[in-house]
């Protein structure tokens, strides 16, 4: 048997011949995506062009180092692709430097922590039950064993106002090296200027984790932390940016002399962070992912993407209003971005895990979530987080939010009636057939 016999040629599906079990699972996931509604706030659909770049032969190339400074030969095209991604990121986010090599959002955050701080140093970030991310100080993470995380909260969970007086007091007492603005389940826009003033007051780096809303920032429909002189922004490249699953670290300042160890100053952040990513934390970058990031960033520069980002927020606001009108209690009573958190215990006297399960039965995918100061544990929290990026990508508009809201409320009302749930599931499938999934053929 030759290699030609073993592996399918160009334009075919190698896994179809090589692994029927994998093929079956992928086809099943394809059908699930076509027939179901994706309301997980951190998920989205890439374009067909992004998928093609992600599955390209760039997978084959090892590229340790950075453009012009690689450890292996044959890098003229990897350098070209990574440079494109870097320049497009700098233009979109109005920053001086971009590192596009982090494998995802968590590695991007970790690389920043390791670059700027020593073991035992302090980071001030959002309390996880108030919307913060796992990498912002969860005790189950490795970083929580290395660094000291302290937390701020909302002052008013009815409006989402951050308690900046509390933050200021904590910062004065704890003297954090980083003050972190960012979230995983916070429905309002942040006051970056207030964060920066507190960071300046204690000599801390102002860092923004914008993984959820990077696409909305790139489109100009939400505020850019760099406009308020933040030092660092980290982000994933999927979610609202509609790229592959990767990460970026964006900074102000320029790379200093690569042959000289940089001083530990804010001006040298780009160099310090680059060295933290490689060789400090990661090995060779995934060039197929970076190629797909470059494509996604090019798409994000278009007027159509701005219209798309505007529609994400319109849909979220409309869905939030519909749910509240029909008796749902939302954390902060609405949203300014792409997501909302339903207080399921107050709304229906069931926890978020059960709500997630009920919606799964009708083909609507969501994610359980804590609510502020949640008395329940993370695996059985009181809330449910939902978002509108993926459904907006499929072309849904405001009127469709009401249809989805009715499906959800109807299912929860009849959560113990299996036949009724099956009936709703069929209606959801019929509804979904109106809206194609980019990059996926329905035949």
The residues carrying an active-site annotation are 62, 64, 209, 236, 239, 245
- For residues 224 and 147, give the distance between their C-alpha atoms in angstroms, rounded to a whole number: 27
CA distances (Å), origin 353, targets 130, 366, 380: 18, 10, 5
In this structure, are strands 383-387 and 367-369 parallel, antiparallel, or unpaired? antiparallel
- For residues 379 and 383, give the distance between their C-alpha atoms in angstroms, rounded to a whole number: 11
Measured torsion, CA atoms of residues 390, 394, 400, 405, in degrees rounded to the nearest 10: -30
Residue 330 makes CB contacts below 8 A (sequence gap 6+) with 187, 320, 323, 324, 340, 341, 342, 343
Nearest Cα neighbor of 393 from 443, 338, 345, 317 is 338
Nearest Cα neighbor of 230 from 256, 254, 266 is 266
- For residues 213 and 236, give the distance between their C-alpha atoms in angstroms, rounded to a whole number: 9
Q: Residue 383: which H helix or E strand, with range?
A: strand 383-387
| Two tokens, residue 380 | 């059985």
- For residues 230 and 224, give the distance between their C-alpha atoms in angstroms, rounded to a whole number: 9
Tokens 């995380």, residue?
149
* Apex 232 CA angle, 230 and 235, nearest 5: 120
CA distances (Å), origin 268, targets 101, 116, 208, 227, 237: 19, 10, 18, 20, 25
Distance between alpha carbon 438 and the CA centroid of its chain, in Å? 19
Residue 236 exposure: Cα atoms within 13 Å on the Cβ side? 21
| Two tokens, residue 427 | 């209606």
In Å, the largest CA–CA distance within the chain is: 72
> What is the DSSP annotation of 164-208?
HHHHHHHHHHH--SEEEEE-SS--S---HHHHHHHHHHHT-EEEE
């Amino acid at each position: 048997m030759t290699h030609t016999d073993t592996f399918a040629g160009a334009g075919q599906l190698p896994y179809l011949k090589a692994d029927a079990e994998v093929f079956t699972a992928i086809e099943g996931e394809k059908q699930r995506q076509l027939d179901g509604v994706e309301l997980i706030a951190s998920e989205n659909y890439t374009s067909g062009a992004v998928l093609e770049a992600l599955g390209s032969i760039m997978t084959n190339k090892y590229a340790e180092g950075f453009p012009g400074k690689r450890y292996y030969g044959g890098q003229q095209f990897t350098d070209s692709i990574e440079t494109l991604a870097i320049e497009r990121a700098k233009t979109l986010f109005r920053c001086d430097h971009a590192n596009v090599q982090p494998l995802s959002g968590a590695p991007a955050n970790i690389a920043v922590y390791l670059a700027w701080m020593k073991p035992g140093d302090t980071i001030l970030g959002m309390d996880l039950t108030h919307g913060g991310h796992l990498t912002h100080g969860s005790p189950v993470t490795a970083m929580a064993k290395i660094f000291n995380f302290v937390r701020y909260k909302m002052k008013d969970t009815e409006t989402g106002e951050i308690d900046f007086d509390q933050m200021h007091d904590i910062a004065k007492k704890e003297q954090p090296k980083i003050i972190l603005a960012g979230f995983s389940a916070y429905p309002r826009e942040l006051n970056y200027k207030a964060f920066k003033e507190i960071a300046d007051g204690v000599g801390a780096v102002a860092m923004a984790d914008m993984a959820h809303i990077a696409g909305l920032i790139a489109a100009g429909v939400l505020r850019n932390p760099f406009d308020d002189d933040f030092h660092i922004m980290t982000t994933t490249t999927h979610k609202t940016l509609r790229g592959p699953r990767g990460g970026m670290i964006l900074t102000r300042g320029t790379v200093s002399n690569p042959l000289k160890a940089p001083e530990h100053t804010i001006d040298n952040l780009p160099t310090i962070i680059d060295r933290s990513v490689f060789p400090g934390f990661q090995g060779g970058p995934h060039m197929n992912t970076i190629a797909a990031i470059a494509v996604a960033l090019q798409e994000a520069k278009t007027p159509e993407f701005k219209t798309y980002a505007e529609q994400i927020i319109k849909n979220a606001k409309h869905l939030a209003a519909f749910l509240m009108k029909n008796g749902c209690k939302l954390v902060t009573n609405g949203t300014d971005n792409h997501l909302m958190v339903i207080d399921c215990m107050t709304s229906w006297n069931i926890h978020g895990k059960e709500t997630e399960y009920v919606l799964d039965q009708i083909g609507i995918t969501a994610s359980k979530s804590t609510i502020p100061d949640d008395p329940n544990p993370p695996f059985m929290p009181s809330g449910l987080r939902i978002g509108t990026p993926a459904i907006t990508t499929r072309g849904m508009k405001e009127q469709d939010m009401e249809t989805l809201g009715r499906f959800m409320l109807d299912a929860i009302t009849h959560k113990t009636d299996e036949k009724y749930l099956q009936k709703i599931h069929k209606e959801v499938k019929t509804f979904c057939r109106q809206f194609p999934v980019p990059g996926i053929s329905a035949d």
